[in-house]
Chain A
Amino acid sequence: MPFDPLGFLTVAEGLAAGTPSEGAYRTSVGRAYYCLCLVARNRVGSPTKKEIKKHKGSHLAMVAKVRARDIRVGSQLDGLRKLRVEADYHLSPSEARYANWGANCRDARLIAQNILEPLRKI
Chain B
Amino acid sequence: MVSAVPAAVPRQGMENMPGGVPSEATPYPDIKDVRRERTTETSYGEAVGMKPVRHLAGPGNGSQSLGGPVDQASRVILLGVGEQLADALSARTTRAPEQPRPLFSGPLKVRPQARAFLTSRVKQLVGPLVAIARTKALRGAIEITSMELGVFVDPEDDSRELVLEIHTAALPRQGLAYWDTLGSAVNEWRGKLPSPLAEILTERLAVHVTWARTDSGAV
Contact = CB atoms under 8 A, between A and B. Distances in A.
A110 B219 contact: yes
Contacts, number: 90
Contacts of B172: 106-107, 110
Given A71-B190, A97-B210, A82 B152 contact: yes
A63 B160 CA distance: 13
A94 to B, nearest CB: 9
Interface residues of A, number: 33
9 contacts: A56-B157, A57-B159, A59-B154, A60-B154, A60-B157, A68-B202, A70-B187, A71-B183, A72-B187
Contacts of A75: 179, 183, 186, 206-208
Chain A contact residues, majority secondary structure = helix
A67 interface: yes
Interface of A: 54-60, 63-64, 67-68, 70-76, 78-79, 81-82, 85, 89, 97, 100, 102-103, 106-107, 110-111, 114
B213 A97 contact: yes
A75 B179 CA distance: 9
Contacts of B156: 57, 59, 85, 89
A57 B215 contact: no
B112 to A, nearest CB: 15
A54 B157 CA distance: 12
A54 B161 CA distance: 12
Interface string B169-189: 000110010011011101100
Contact of B203 (A55, A97, A106): A55
